Amino acid sequence: MAGSKATFEDEADRFEKPVFSAVIRPHRSLSPHGFRIVMVLVCLTSIVASLPFVIMGFWPVAGFFGLDFLGLFIAFRISYRQGQAFELLELTPIRLLLRKVSERGEAHEWLFNPLWTRLDREVDDEFGLQELALTSRNQHVVIARDLSPEERETFADAFSQALSAVKRGY
């Protein structure tokens, strides 16, 4: 009996083990350290540029330089907050899980049967792969929106191979 139990557990593990897993995050080209450097440089530039105006008595100009700095800081903070959003895609032989988490932490989940799911591609001749979507029965969910067309193509190829392997029984 012990041998049959181990076989059952091995089979259960096989069906729950991910065949494909990916986390997609929006790209941010400036690291937090780079952000601090940029903000220090902008602040110093604003101070240096506003000093002659303050010395001549046009002190309100310094306030406008400060508003420019504040606007840039707020724009970067909003961008970094939006960068906290992500998509999780996990494919096992018995299910396909898509979880989208917004920058506020709100999560939406879709479960698909991999045997009934296909990956739809919208390709533009000039700009490449524009949209990827998971389609299964009544559901059509766009994925990998934060990737560039080249990255989206690489991701689509890898995911398509994994989905095909699951459908064949890998």
Tell me the pTM: 0.73
For the stretch 6-22, pLDDT in tens is 565 555 566 678 899 99
SS (H, E, C) 51-118: HHHHHCCCCHHHHHHHHHHHHHHHHHHHHHHHCCCEEEEEECCCCEEEEEECCCCCEEEEEECHHHCE
pLDDT tens by residue, 15-43:
678 899 999 999 888 888 999 999 999 99
- Give percent of the chain with pLDDT exceeding 90: 65
Q: Which of 67, 89, 101, 95 is nearest to 159 (CA)?
A: 89
| 3, pLDDT greater than 90 | no
25 closest CA partner among 106, 93, 80, 94: 80
- Which residues have a Cβ under 8 Å from the Cβ of 35 and sit 6 or more positions away? 76, 80
pLDDT in tens, 103-150: 999 999 999 999 999 999 998 888 888 899 999 988 999 999 999 889
Give the pLDDT score at 74. Answer: 94
Tens digit of pLDDT for each residue in 47-83? Answer: 999 999 999 998 898 889 889 999 999 999 998 898 8
